[in-house]
Amino acid sequence: MSQHRTARRLAGLGGAAGATALLLALTACSTPGAGAADTPGVTDDTVTVGTHHPLTGPAAAGYSTISAATKAYFDYVNDQGGINGRTIEYLVKDDGYNPANTQTVVRELVQEDEVFAILNGLGTPTHSAVLDYLDQNAVPDLFVASGSTSWNDPETYPMTFAFNVDYVVEGAVLAQYAADEHPGAKVCVLGQDDDFGEEFLEGVELALGVGGVAEVQEYSVSNQDVSAQIGAMQAAGCEINMLATVNGFSALAIGTAAKLGWFPMWFSSSSGGDYPTLAGFLGEAAPQLLQGFVSANYLPFGPDGEWVELFRQINDDYNGGADFDGNTVYGMSVGYLFAEALAAAGDDPTREALVAALESGDLAGNGILPLGFSKTSHAAWNGAGITIVDAGVQDFVDAAYEVEGGEVSAVDPAPVPLENAGVPAA
């Protein structure tokens, strides 16, 4: 857990408005020991969950397709009979990546739509704004779409569970791979000027030591120019550039360096390491500029994998054949893990049963490493694998690492096999 986390967390709802919202929402809370008939969002035939995602605004270009992929997976499951006889209804509300909007739409989902759970709310600043509210109302807050360590705090937030591998772990995984494969190389970091960049750097230094990073540069998402940062890294003689960047800024950094005639190695967080998305930004130059591009990943993105084959078919049949990329795999993987947890919650699902299923340690997910949920940890995965782009194809290499107790260790990848056509059974 990051030492910076508490200082950064935003208050969920404050003052009189917060008190009013809390009083209004009490009617939507589940009662300990209540059956499914008394549980919000659950009927004899359906389970309703909701999310906040940026369908418009500055983050929409990078993330708006995730919820469509999740819905497509749920539609597929529903056509197979649903989970324990119930279909899954998925309500997606646009918050424009604005925390004030997030508070509004999440209150609507809880108080008016009476959802069973919030699923995969996206963004650190946005979701931080509703973290306390969801906890106070005992709403399962599942699989937050952000690598912040804030979501792994079961003592304070017992209903909140992460999904992304956190930024500290990703930084440590990438740095250890760099040390193993390129010993002595000068490693530098370009990071977003918030918890993303801070925690990623924390992970890099965990693997390499505080003196192991030659240069650190930050950027703001409000400024679409990283020329000064890239110039400083070039001047410092950086050989491996670690990126705590979203896809748009990964492409911007790589493209800016190319204009300077500089071609270092690039190692990226999964948040900014999706080859199809990067190629869309970089255009015809992408295969050349991204040759050898390294990224951390924890989901089944190998081009010949059985999960990818299934998700491609679902994407064609239920998502209108939309572009297939990392967001597609991510969104469908979120849907699969929720369906697995719902199946494990039993024929009479309650919020308490759902949380107990997640904390049981019995769920597998569909990642390349074992799922890490337990009563004492709400982190989905404690490690990641390494992908490399070769001749325009991004695929895993035989390298993966876990981070436990401040130590980074190499482990064997252990991909979860596809069973039952990707529909979890009780």
Round to whole Å and give the CA distance between 169 and 386: 13
| Beta pairing class for 383-390 and 393-404 | antiparallel
d(CA 404, CA 408): 7
Q: Residue range 173-191: average pLDDT?
A: 98
Nearest to 167 by CA among 278, 358, 1, 292: 1
Nearest Cα residue to 345 out of 248, 225, 426? 426
Query: What secondary structure does DSSP assign to 293-339, as a single string?
Result: -EEEE-S---TT-HHHHHHHHHHHHHSTTPPPSHHHHHHHHHHHHHH
Q: Residue 340 and residue 101: Cα distance in Å, rounded?
A: 30
Nearest C-alpha neighbor of 189 from the set 239, 149, 146: 239
The domain ranges of the chain are: 5-165+304-381, 167-297
Q: Which of 181, 161, 204 is nearest to 373 (CA)?
A: 161
pLDDT, tens digit, 9 for 90 and up, residues 290-306: 999 999 999 998 888 99
How high is the pLDDT of residue 1?
43
Q: What's the rounded Cα separation, in Å, for the pair 83 and 270?
A: 30
- Has residue 43 got a pLDDT over 60? yes
pLDDT at 36: 58
Overall average pLDDT of the 1-28 stretch: 38
Contacts of 23 (CB under 8 A, 6+ apart): none
3-state secondary structure 252-297: HHHHHHHHCCCCCEEEECHHHCCHHHHHHHHHHHHHHHCCCCEEEE
Report how far residue 175's alpha carbon sits from residue 262's, in angstroms, rounded to the nearest whole number. Answer: 21
Mean pLDDT of 325-354: 97
Whether 78 shows a pLDDT value over 70: the answer reads: yes
Residue 243 and residue 230: Cα distance in Å, rounded?
Answer: 12
- The DSSP result for 347-396, as a single string, is SS--HHHHHHHHHTS---TTSSS-----SS---S-SEEEEEEEETTEEEE
Q: What is the mean pLDDT of residues 226-242?
A: 98
Is there a common fold for 5-165+304-381 and 167-297?
yes
The answer to whether the CB of 362 falls within 8 A of the CB of 353 is: no
User: Cα separation of 130 and 286, whole Å?
Assistant: 38
How many angstroms separate the Cα of 344 from the Cα of each of 15, 39, 117, 259, 264? 39, 16, 15, 53, 47
Q: Looking at the domain covering 167-297, what would its CATH class be?
A: alpha beta
Q: Which among 123, 62, 54 is positioned nearest to 280, based on CA atoms? A: 62
- Mean pLDDT value across residues 338-355: 97
Q: Give the model's pLDDT for residue 61.
A: 84
Structure tokens at 373: 């949920």
Domain 5-165+304-381: give its CATH architecture: 3-Layer(aba) Sandwich (3.40)
Under DSSP, is residue 214 helix (H, G, I), strand (E, B) or coil?
strand
Averaged pLDDT, 232-248: 97
In one-letter notation, the amino acid at residue 310 is L
Calpha distance 176→162 (Å, rounded): 23
**Least confident segment among 14-18, 62-66, 225-229, 392-396:** 14-18
Q: Would you say 317 and 75 are in contact if contact means Cβ atoms under 8 Å apart?
A: no
SS (H, E, C) 67-117: HHHHHHHHHHHHHCCCECCEEEEEEEEECCCCHHHHHHHHHHHHHHCCCCE
Q: Is the pLDDT of residue 395 over 50?
A: yes
The predicted model scores a pTM of 0.89
How many percent of the chain have pLDDT more than 90?
A: 87
Angle between helices 306-318 and 65-79 (to 10 degrees): 90
The residue behind tokens 């670690």 is: 242
Instruction: For residue 192, give the 3-state DSSP assignment.
Output: strand
Give the contacts of 375 (CB within 8 A, at least 6 positions apart). 154, 359
Average pLDDT over residues 89-103: 97
Q: Percent of the chain at pLDDT above 70? A: 91
Q: Which residues pair with 401 in a beta bridge?
A: 384, 410
Query: Per-residue pLDDT averaged across 47-70, rounded?
Result: 94
Amino acid present at 139? V
Q: pLDDT-based confidence at 15, cuts 50/70/90?
A: very low
For the chain, give the mean pLDDT.
91
- Can you give the pLDDT at residue 302? 82
In whole angstroms, what separates CA 395 from the centre of its chain? Answer: 19
CB atoms within 10 A of CB 193: 15
Supply the pLDDT for residue 204.
98
Would you place residue 35 in the very low, low, confident or very high pLDDT band (cuts 50, 70, 90)? Answer: low
In the sheet with 393-404, reading across from the earlier edge strand, the strands are 213-219, 187-192, 240-244, 265-268, 294-297, 383-390, 393-404, 407-411
Q: What number is the average pLDDT over the span 238-246? A: 97
